[in-house]
Amino acid sequence: MSSLQPVPRTLLRDEAYERIRAAIVEGELPPGAPLRDGELAAELGLSRAPVRQALTRLVGEGLAESKPQSYTRVAPAVSDDVRDALHLVRALHEFAVRAALPRLGAAEIAGMRAANAEFAEAVANGDVAAAIAADDELHGIPVRACGNRAVADTLARYTPLLRRLERTRFASLPARRSVRRHDELIDAIAAADTAGAARVAGEIWAELEPLLDTEKGAS
């Protein structure tokens, strides 16, 4: 079979979704920004159909909001959907750490320490994108090790709702506290302290909660 076959429509839809979602999460498309399928299609070099499908998915995931025959726009950074997502993500990371701990050996612990070193460097340099990538890698190690696909898929579905809050945190001085909290998590895992590791994992995500009220008050 030739490799030069037309790209399936589903792949175009997914590509549109990934790019628009990244623009929302990274702040290129800020809260309230209009999401016009024609304009987005022109920017992405796509037809309107996959863009419309992508926007429908983003509305369903809470990153966009739509009123029929009126508008589709980027959703607020803080909403009930975001608060609900935070509570779910926190619980799933606690579960993942508990389930993964017996499978987290020297290699995984070293990987987490390396990711935290990258995170600390990114924070010191003010590189928010690199900080988020390193944070993803650090927390992703226990998630992958726990071997629960439902957990991984659910986190992939809801974590983007929290990324705009994390960008606020990682761009500020309190981000340095996250480096210490990561160290506490890794040390608890290395000590095979299941309860302690799960507690710290939950607390790390709970520290986003005050930002919900701060951002809401600023909006």
Question: Which of the four pLDDT bands, split at 50, 70 and 90, describes residue 8?
Answer: low
Output Rg (C-alpha) for the chain, integer angstroms. 19
Quick check: 104 and 145 in contact, CB under 8 A?
yes
Q: pLDDT tens, 104-131?
A: 999 999 999 999 999 999 988 989 889 9
pTM here is 0.83
The Cα angle at residue 151 between residues 146 and 155, in degrees rounded to 5: 120
For the chain, the average pLDDT equals 90
Three-state DSSP state, 67: strand
d(C-alpha 149, C-alpha 144), whole Å = 8
Quick check: 141 and 111 in contact, CB under 8 A?
yes
Q: pLDDT tens, 51-103?
A: 999 999 999 999 999 998 889 999 998 888 899 999 999 999 999 999 999 99
How do strand 64-67 and strand 71-74 relate by DSSP bridges? antiparallel
d(C-alpha 112, C-alpha 153), whole Å = 21
Return the pLDDT at 1: 46
Q: Is the pLDDT of residue 3 over 60?
A: no
Q: Is the pLDDT of residue 214 over 70?
A: no
Rounded mean pLDDT, 123-143: 93
